[in-house]
Amino acid sequence: MMQLSQASLRAGRRTYIPWQGYLAALVLIFALYWLFPGNLLMLTRIATIAILVMSLDLVTGYAGLPTLGHAAMYGMGAYAAALCAKFLTGDPLAGLVVAAGAGALLALVAGSFLVRYQGLAFLMLTIAVVQIMQSIASKLQFITGGDDGLSGFEISPVFGRFEFDMFGVTGYWYSMILLLLSFVVLRRIMHSPFGLCCMGIRENRDRMSANGTRIYPHLLKLYVLAGTFAGLAGGISAQVNQIVGLDSLGFDLSAEALVMLVLGGSGNLVGAIVGTALFSSIHHFAAMANPFHWLFVIGGLLMAVVFLPKGFIVLLARRLGANALAIFGRRA
């Protein structure tokens, strides 16, 4: 028991992020604002999708359940936030609560039978869920706008002062702050006994069950948590763009999110952010450089994901971060 406790303490130290790490994140947010004032909308999109990919990492990376239907909770949150602004209140914080709740509700309903399965069966069922949700949104055109999208709603200024402008300034700070807060909360949860238990289930279900762990309740709680933050990301997207389309419930978004996660390294929230930023940046600039052949660049990126070591990108980012922290005389 003593050896196990010491090993757990060493693991805790390895996962600890010193305050300089969060300070560096804030500095990076300010730096991106000043260095790329013309790309704030793209940076806002990256921050929003990064929250979605982090929520996907909970299910795929930490629990070992690959899914291609995670956009269902994202789209649910987006439509919920838009409908809240249209019929109830335009307050953005209230809209986020509604969006997160909608994502959690869908995750609870779908997850109640999804998490009973694993492997290919789980993967195929998640695809079915996202297709069903997209079909429902398309049929309910009088509510969702159908193929035309849901628009015509107004979002009030954040805290009554900061209006969402066409240049994306408020949207940038709004999404970046929420990304940082989401990272802190999720990291704290996933390095708690609950999160470690979920990782144990990923590694060996039979052993965890033999130890007295209740597999189904743990996975359902994790799935609902992932749905909550996926819905939050959808709510941010709806409020910043002030339009919600059927593509927010699409299979393509789920597939791209999974590619971003694999690119940065699954089972690592930092990797989810790094993978999202890298994929989105390459996507954006490759499409601008060559609108007709940019998919070749994305294809090459996917090949790199296959051949490079798992989590290569985030390992490189960690090394750079460790070198930066060495300036302060601290270890990562």
* pLDDT tens string 218-267: 999 999 999 999 999 999 999 999 989 888 988 889 988 998 888 888 88
> Which of 126, 104, 127, 132 has the alpha carbon at shortest distance from 113?
126
Question: pTM, whole model, 2 decimals?
Answer: 0.86
Average pLDDT, the chain: 83
Q: What is the pLDDT of residue 286?
A: 73
Residue 53 to residue 191: CA distance in whole angstroms: 18
* Cβ within 8 Å of residue 141, ≥6 positions away: 147, 148
Higher pLDDT, 179 or 118: 179
Asked if 62 contacts 202 with a C-beta cutoff of 8 angstroms, the reply is yes
Residue 177 to residue 58: CA distance in whole angstroms: 20
Higher pLDDT, 101 or 279: 101
Q: Residue 47 pLDDT > 90, yes or no?
A: yes
pLDDT band at 10 (very low <50, low <70, confident <90, very high): very low
pLDDT band at 2 (very low <50, low <70, confident <90, very high): very low
Q: What is the pLDDT of residue 3?
A: 38
Please report where in the chains the tokens 């999110």 appear, as a residue: 257
Q: Residue 161 pLDDT > 90, yes or no?
A: no
Q: What is the pLDDT of residue 80?
A: 95
Asked if 93 contacts 239 with a C-beta cutoff of 8 angstroms, the reply is no
Distance set, CA 18 to CA 15, 21, 32, 114, 321 (Å): 10, 6, 22, 37, 11
Tokens in use for 151? 């628009």
Tokens in use for 304? 């790199």
Q: What is the pLDDT of residue 323?
A: 55
Q: Residue 275 pLDDT > 90, yes or no?
A: no
